[in-house]
Structure 1
């Protein structure tokens, strides 16, 4: 049996695929290979999370369910009447939560999770938080945060009878309730991570000779691996930038990778990091994602969508890319006899960056179109408001202004908060641009799956020059890359056909076979 121990942190729980084992687990669900997921993170919304990623039917164990002695729970729906608010309280609904008032005083806030289930209830007295209850998605209180004078004191993890089992304090120290110890060996622990390690080790002790473990490495669990009796059976997964470059962290990484069975990495950057102190035969680079998406429908759309990944780029580099994109659009506007429509989706890292680069784009337009832009900015609210003027009439009376307005509306700066949002964008995208030192792996695999050519500045195994994308040497080649794929349908179709051939290479079956091969074939 293969045991998967993922790191489903706060970010991935909110909807972003930042975990390396998700695709691997999905690849085993349709196979005859025995596997089990050991979920060690505290996840009161676990059922909704698993459903979102098609993992609800997977074989899994929740470590916190065992710690909290939660068994055989039938899911039930909570209502506002089930909460501890006075009968005379009134409820005010907002897009994100429900505010609770008693005689015009705010006494609570209710946060809704997926499918509008009650996920968190905050109690307020005298303008200060006194208690926060966190609800399991099965309909009961899972934990509570205790406050004094508005300041957090400790957190309690509860059993089904609402007795506390574990308390965690501000300094991360933990206390175990001796009456409900859930088999834990100590009363006090340095951290919750230490408790999770003890519980996981109890599972590992039951492993047979042919069993394997694949564990996601994180900054928190790394220090405990040296204590594990089964480290020689472990395959450690190093993903993204989850580990810092601190000397202490690198020393711990060197020690555990020297003793483990194998190391899986997702990028050349992590490959080089581990190669510095680990024998190369133990290191394996694989994609944590598979090509499970549908081919994009971008060829069916009149609008040509360009997806530009700007996160982790310098402001100067983002500015250069925007200038080239702007220059390309202007040239098409000036010289193309056939009317073309564009949408440039720029994925930004923060709202301040959106504001800064929106201002830059506006400055580019004002410099290029000094006569048209005042009228564009005057008319644009009329086109989007309730009393909008007729766009056709605008085109007849002032086609130049209409054209500039179309260009202005082409730029769409966004923060993407979930995989679902990215999927929808990729499904309509004509071209992907990622010019960072380490292109986003998830986007690269999604691009292959959707049959979309990609422009990168570094060579990777996923994008081959002039087959399913371009690897440009410097910024001056970006303009030519845009023209290569957008002005000539032939090149775009060739890239799509090559991507279709690549889909099999990065399929779930191929991913599963590679994992089994890494584990020595013992699980095939």
Structure 2
């Protein structure tokens, strides 16, 4: 069996990254482990399970969003909470024990509980409409933050004093506290009257295990102890597929000595200069990276001393039809993340001049960053560059939430807006945006893996600064080393449908190497080589 150990954490904390439904998405849920589990789950390639080390009270909803709701899993904090149910439960906040005569105010974003005209609770909901948190007030300050599990109970509570968190309790389904984590020095106290946790590997009932100590120096120690007990109940033949992350690397390396492991490297989630990372690399049976660049970096470190290193992209390709041909304009996606300011300015001027010969072209500055002020800054920067160089700065007017520019309507009619910003934090939003593009341009040094794979899937020609496994010069795109060569490439793809169609055909052919079937085959080769 393959045991996946994901890195689904909120920044560098042992908890999930669930957001209130009304907040702008600050992160993407997709990563290498999500894709690996989807491959195994949908293709029934191997028997597998997930080991969740962090506190994840809304884990059932997370699995549902990824399309793997029935995926088997073991959760460290479920063991602490003594919760053995795997099913989400629908429940209403009206079912809670409220003070008699409580009034509920329904705002556009939250529900506020009022008692005698004073606010005493605020209810927050997740994107699926599930209750995730209730803040209880004393005066104008939060006194207790109750965190709700999607199985219908308070799984944790943070106690505040003078607006500062003091400690966090974790509860059983009937409300008994199990462990208490103090924020001042991070030490953990165990409830002496409930000093055990439950290991359930799918059998009812689970096995009760007594905690080794009544006090721990940190929650890391508690997680490590339960994780060690969990793996001791598994077969020696099981393989652990570990998402490399600095938060859990010590816990994992301390407990998986001598076990068969596959290390999975994804984007910027790891540090190759870290001693612990190097130790795990040396012990690993196999190393899987998300890109050829990462693969080559690790190979450079080991030379010929580690042969089991392979690049398996977490993104699969599929032939999809874009809608750029149905639009009256030609949208050009320009990736701006990690693009130096001076290069951004060069691109603005190149496109401003290009608009003189192609008034159907529109530039979409594409970013995956969640900074809410970023679109405004990008367009303001573009306007400064345009005005400084004698162009009409109104080509980069900013739109407000109503879809109209911040300036007067008559000013909009006089000047055609040509520059826009597409802020796509999650994959669904990004896919909708990419579907409309006629051309993709990414001239930053950082390879945007998702963007390149999506371009291949939609058959969109791509212009990049370095050739990669997904973009081949003269086939599905062009390699541009000098910015002054970009206008020729724009004309090549946007003035001739024949050139564009040829690139689309080549993109689909390249995509055949990264279909779901091919990714499953590569993973089978990895696991079968371990034995």
User: Structure 2 length normalisation: TM-score?
Assistant: 0.84
Q: How does 1:135-284 map to 2 (within 5 A)?
A: 135-170=148-183, 171-178=185-192, 179-182=194-197, 183=209, 184-244=211-271, 250-278=274-302, 279-284=305-310
Aligned alpha-carbon RMSD (Å): 3.2
The answer to whether residue 50 in structure 2 is matched with residue 24 in structure 1 is no
Provide, for residues 52-102 of structure 1, a one-character-per-residue CA deviation record: whole Å limited to 9, x for no partner: 111113333333222211123764433342345434443333343223334
Task: Point out where structure 1 has 5 or more consecutive residues left out of the alignment.
Answer: 334-339
2:345 matched residue in structure 1: 319
Whole-angstrom CA distance in 2 between matches of 1:42 and 1:468: 44
> In the TM superposition, what whole-angstrom CA distance separates every residue of 1:439-463 from its partner, at most 9, and x where no partner exists?
1212222222222222211222111
Q: CA, structure 1 residues 222+32, in 2 after alignment: closer, same or farther (shift >3 Å)?
A: closer
Q: Note if contact 2:315-2:453 (Cα within 8 Å) is conserved in structure 1.
A: yes
Select between 34-43 and 99-108 the one with higher mean Cα deviation.
99-108
Q: 1:67 aligns with which of 76, 80, 96?
A: 80
Greater helix share, structure number = 1
Query: Using the alignment, how far apart are the partners of 1:142 and 1:267 within structure 2?
Result: 38
Alpha-carbon offset, residue 381 of structure 1 = 12
Residues 487 and 13 from structure 1, CA distance in 2 versus in 1: closer, same or farther, beyond 3 angstroms? farther
- Figure out how many residues of one structure are paired with residues of the other and give that number: 499
Equivalent residue for 2:364, pick from 316, 319, 344: 344
SS in 2 for 1:100: strand
CA gap 1:499/1:368 in 2 versus in 1, 3 angstroms: same
| Matching of residues 325-364 of structure 1 within 5 Å | 325-333=351-359, 340=360, 342=362, 344-347=364-367, 349=369, 350-364=371-385
**Secondary structure at the counterpart of residue 200 of structure 1:** helix
Is 1:285 aligned with 2:308? no
Residues 85 and 319 of structure 1: CA distance in aligned 2, closer, same or farther (over 3 Å): farther
Change in CA separation of 1:299 and 1:149 when aligned onto 2, cut-off 3 Å? same
What SS does the corresponding residue of 2:438 show, helix, strand or coil?
strand
Select between 136-145 and 306-315 the one with higher mean Cα deviation: 306-315
Partner of 1:405: 415
Alpha carbons of structure 1 residues 427 and 370: separation in structure 2 relative to 1, 3 Å = closer
Kept after mapping to 2: 8 A contact 1:348/1:354: no
Equivalent residue in structure 2 for 1:123, among 109, 122, 136: 136
Does the 8 Å CA contact 2:461/2:476 hold for their aligned counterparts? yes
1:490 to 2:493 alignment: no
**TM-score, normalising length from structure 1?**
0.85
Q: Give the 3 Å change call, closer, same or farther, for CA 358–175 of structure 1 in structure 2.
A: same
Query: How far apart are residue 320 of structure 1 and its match?
Result: 2.6
CA contact (8 A) 2:148 2:156 kept: yes
Shift of 1:365: 4.9
The answer to whether the 8 A contact 1:134-1:141 is kept is yes
**Matched residue SS, 1:429:** coil
Displacement of 1:120: 0.8
Shift in Å, 1:230: 4.0
Q: In 2, Cα distance between the equivalents of 1:331 and 1:307?
A: 18
Query: Are positions 1:449 and 2:457 aligned together?
Result: yes
Q: Please name the residue that 2:200 is paired with.
A: none
Report 1:367-406 matches (<5 A): 384=404, 402=413, 405-406=415-416
Please list the CA deviations of residues 201-248 of structure 1 after superposition, one character each: whole Å capped at 9, or x if unmatched: 333334435431110111111223442244541111122111247x6x
